[in-house]
Amino acid sequence: MSTGTLLEEVFDADLIGHPEVVAARTPSQLFWRRFRQDRVAIASLGFIVFLSLVAIFAPLFVALAGTAPPNAIDSSLLNDFGLPTGPSLAHPFGVDGLGRDVLSRTVYGARTSLEIAILATLIATGIGVVLGMLAGFFGGWIDTLISRSVDVMLAFPVFLLALGLASGCSLGNGCAGGLIQPGISTVVVVIAIVSWTYPARLIRGQVLSLKEKEFVDAARSIGASNSRILFREILPNLVVPIIVYASLMIPTNILLEAALSFLGAGVPAPTASWGAMISDATSIFNTAWWYMLFPGLAILFTALAFNLVGDGLTDAMNPRAAD
């Protein structure tokens, strides 16, 4: 580690040798300290913040860029053969098959992508943490029920399951008797349903080993209740692994959302989505390469940035493995 000795990492360098000042850093403080020293991860985090701002203030960004709104159809931008025109000053990323501005649609696509990936990750992680904690802590029939359900879910071809759920719910009148309507929430729910199993397994394993630790015995010996042990003793130790795991799930979910919309089972048109843009481009990409290229690069860079942050967080959690 570039930070010097373990002693210097755990204690503030100035305070070593001054036992009257108790200033040891907690494990999570150490975690964030190590993460902050990872320049690539911090730069990627910066990119993610920038992208999030662009997504949140998409109308403002498009106005500043001077491009047309994402759903504005302008057939005068198609050439004599009805094919879209390429990048120009007025349309830096060119236009699509309907004469819509690709830059504006890519910017609005960031909204769809980030919103779905982040919400789905939050929900899946939430479900996974609750079920994983229950299974790991209580064991017995609760563990059997949860673990066997995870086994069944993992035996499913995940992508087919997501595709089936999404197309069942995204076409026509929604699904479950109209309870779930097509739109962003459907895709979020679908992705959450197929991805909660991984965090559940991980958290179960962590809880299994944590509950054998001395501090849990100590808490129990002074008469702490189960819920106190679960939430006040075990959960704080799970925060770092949960953050690390969730950060690695986001890029996966970005790719899953894009793949679903590529197959026509994502958010309904005309909402801009990167995967759907690539799908639209499939029939004309040999001439209109820009329509395929830019949304693809958008997915690539976004997933890459989240993967780099996830790698940085993983290394900060296991500093020795990082070497």
Partner 1 sequence: MARYIARRLLWTVVLMFAVSVVTFIIFYVLPSADPAALRAGRHASPQQIEEIRHKYHLDKSLLDQLSFYFKGILLHGDFGISYVNDQPVAKLVFSRLPATISVAVGAAVLWLLSGVAIGIISAVRRHSKLDRATMSLALVGISAPVYWLGLVALYLFADDIGLIPLFGGSGSYQPITEDPLAWLNSMILPWVVLAVAFAAFYSRLLRGTLIEVMGEDYIRTARAKGLPERTVVMRHGVRSAITPIVTAFGLDLGALLGGAVLVEIVFNIPGIGRLAYDAILHSDLFLIQGTVLLAAFFVIGANLVVDVVYAYLDPRVRYE
End-to-end CA distance of the chain: 8
Closest CA to 21 of 33, 30, 10, 12: 12
Residue where the block lists tokens 């979910």: 253
- What φ, ψ does residue 13 adopt, rounded to 5°? -55, -40
Residue (230 or 272) nearer to partner 1, CB: 272
Q: In this complex, which beta carbon is closest to partner 1, that of residue 99 or of residue 182?
A: 182
| Shortest distance in whole angstroms from residue 153 CB to partner 1 | 9
Q: Which is nearer to partner 1, 243 or 254 (CB)?
A: 254
251 in contact with partner 1 (CB under 8 A)? yes
- CB 146 → partner 1: shortest distance, Å? 14
For 65, the enclosing helix (H) or strand (E) is helix 58-65
Site of tokens 């949860």: 146
* Residue 185 contacts partner 1 per CB under 8 A: no
Check binding of 161 to partner 1 (CB under 8 A). yes
Residue 173 near partner 1 by CB under 8 A: yes
Q: Which two tokens stand for residue 147?
A: 């673990």
**Interacting span for partner 1 (CB under 8 A) from 1-9, 137-145, 151-159, 212-220:** 151-159
Other residues' Cβ atoms within 10 Å of the Cβ of residue 6 = 11
Contact 112, 270 (CB under 8 A): no
Q: How many CA atoms lie within 13 A of 84 on its CB side?
A: 28
How many chain residues touch partner 1 (CB under 8 A)? 51
Can you give the binding site for partner 1, defined by CB under 8 A?
A: 151-152, 154-161, 163-165, 167-169, 171-178, 251, 255, 258-259, 262-264, 275, 278, 281-282, 285-286, 289, 292-293, 296, 299-301, 303-304, 307-308, 311, 321, 323
